[in-house]
A and B are shown apart, each in its own frame.
Chain A
Amino acid sequence: MRGYLLRRLPSALLVLLAASFLVFAVLRLVPGDPAAVLAGPDASPETEAAIRARLGLDAPLPTQYVRWLGDLLTGDLGPSYAIGGRTADLIGDGLGATVELTLGALLFVVVLGAAFGILGATARNRWVLGTVRVLTTGALAVPPFVTGVLLVLLFSVLLGVLPPGGRVPLLAAPDLGVQYLLLPSLCLALPSAAVLGRYLKDGIERALAEDYVRTATAAGITPRRILRRHALPNALPPVVTLLGMQTGHLLGGAVLVEAIFAWPGLGQLAEQALVRRDYPVVRDLLLLLVTVFVLVQLLTDLVHAWLDPRIRWE
């Protein structure tokens, strides 16, 4: 297992380096000079040049790139241009909120996905099967901004049991934090949970049709145990891969859901930074997103290898 990790690590690092280069290159090549935006439309060329020099934007591009990599390693990302404050602090504040939201959503994805998948594959009752099918189709078909509004309408307006928006940090006040977290994370999770459920259902059905399940049945092992110990471990690897990819979707979807529920996370920050052309914030956010993606993929591969012994021997 450790050998597998060591084999996979260099390629992950390489992807990160390539991503950093791409992020840097793309943002510098698109039209729109950050210094000009910062200086405003009426500023003189001298003012612009002064700003450019202050921000180090007058240095040759390779130098800027290397300087940025150095900043990344030290963790000091410099000041934001437009929003104010230091980039690292802005991202740090938003990151906590978004991680909280994403993890909450992931929990919903796993629990609901598992329920959809296992019930869909093993239930015999027509009504249960029909309900599962309607729920998964609905969760997949209705976009988050509609489910978000519906959830708020139901739980906040009609029932009045959950707050319609805002955030209380979970670690600061767990009981209150959960109340604020429930609706946005559920809203964010629903489409992914439906996709995961579909995959899991197919995977379990496929595994249950395999010869080794027949072997286990002939050996007198109970259906429940066959599902848990024989079919699920075989159905999981592709689902884990999917979950890894869905985590990326969750991060992307967070931008929208954060807006609906006034959740002060990276999505809100990204929106602000884009609108106000805060170049370093956008750049570092992008790289952060890529890093999370790469880490999740690495984790996915490790879990995959742990689940399926054949991969370790490739």
Chain B
Amino acid sequence: MNMGVNLCGVELKNPVIAASGTFGFGREYDEFYDVGSLGGISVKGLTRLPRLGNPPHRITETPSGVLNSVGLQNPGVEAFIEKDLPWLLEKGAVVVANAAGSTEDDYCYMAERLSKTGIHILEMNISCPNVKEGGVAFGTRPESVYHITKAVRAHCAKPLMVKLSPNVADIAEVARAAQEGGADAISLINTLTGMAVDVRTRRPVLANVVGGLSGPAVRPVALRMCYQAAEAVSIPVVGMGGIETGEDAAAFLLVGCTAVQVGTANLHNPYACPEVVRGLEAVCAQQGVQDVRELIGALRLD
């Protein structure tokens, strides 16, 4: 059975990528299994300079979901290039470098800097809901998505994947804007903005007051948005949002995604990614599918 897919020119061993922010740089999970066996690893969101992130609390549980506001804590792009990237490449991992910034100049710099390294795909994060400047501010209006994608495109020698926010009125329009700006692929959804309140103390649970909701709670919304985005563009779509099993992943492929990312599931199950790979293989076997690519966009609407 073939599980490999081609994502904008990059061969993935299978369509399952670990999602940014839930997987660090892969080292913690490599204690449990060979992270090089995954389709890819989208690393912790990187910025030009090291970032401290938000004060605690940064996480809380909601029904079938998780609300977080880490605020892009990361050691900075140079530390990643020096310490973590060589290790990931040695593992044979397809490295998706998730990059964020506060200004257009930051994003262009990140694209240029990371293009000079061995990363495979640049995932431009214009959808982080947990930082004051930049992040999602670039990702909510189609005009600004087009503008920043076009600007970064000129500085990016790697396949450029734009990670979209679900906190928009019309996801199809935003997806088209990324494509028109020159994106090679889009990934979605980033978290849905949410909030939790401790009634006893009358305070927000998260120090940042609001955070991003992920996990199975958002899966139907994510699936719908991936369906609409895949209908709207001709570039590959990488789907995510609450995927925990092979069946979940198959649903995202059926609505038109070329690959999927698994995020929140890593937080409670260190084996979540390889289990999704095996589960997807099982779905293919049950359906007599010889090549996982047969599932992509095979949704029946008749």
Tell me, yes or no, whether A binds B: no
Chain A interface (Cβ < 8 Å from any Cβ of B): none
Q: B-side interface residues toward A, CB under 8 Å?
A: none
